[in-house]
Amino acid sequence: MTVLNAIIELTKASWHVLRRHPRLIWFPILSVLAATAAVAFLAPILLPLEDDVPWLAVLIFLIALHAVHIFFTVALTNEALRALRGESPISINGGLNAACTHVPSIATFAAVTGSIGFVLELMGRSGHPALRFARAVFGTGWSLVTYLAIPVMVQERRGGIPSLRRSGDLFRRTWGETTLSEVGLRVFTQYLMVLLVIVAILLIHVLGDESLFALLLILAMVGAAIGVIGSLEAIYRAALYVFAVEGVVPEPFAGAELDAVWRVKPGDPSSPTTPPSSDKPIIDV
141-157 pLDDT, tens digit per residue, is: 888 889 889 999 999 99
N-to-C CA span, the chain: 41
19 pLDDT above the threshold of 80: yes
- Gap between the Cα atoms of 280 and 159, Å rounded: 12
Q: What is the mean pLDDT of the chain?
A: 81
pLDDT in tens, 60-114: 999 999 999 999 999 999 999 999 888 888 999 999 999 999 999 999 999 999 9
Of 274, 283, 280, residue with least CA distance to 247: 274
Using one digit for the tens of pLDDT, what is the confidence trace for 213-258?
777 777 888 888 888 888 988 998 888 888 888 877 787 777 655 6
Report residue 25 CA to chain centroid gap. Answer: 13
Please tell me whether residue 50 adopts helix, strand or coil conformation.
coil
Is the alpha carbon torsion for 86, 176, 268, 284 positive or negative? Answer: negative
What pLDDT is recorded for position 140?
Answer: 83
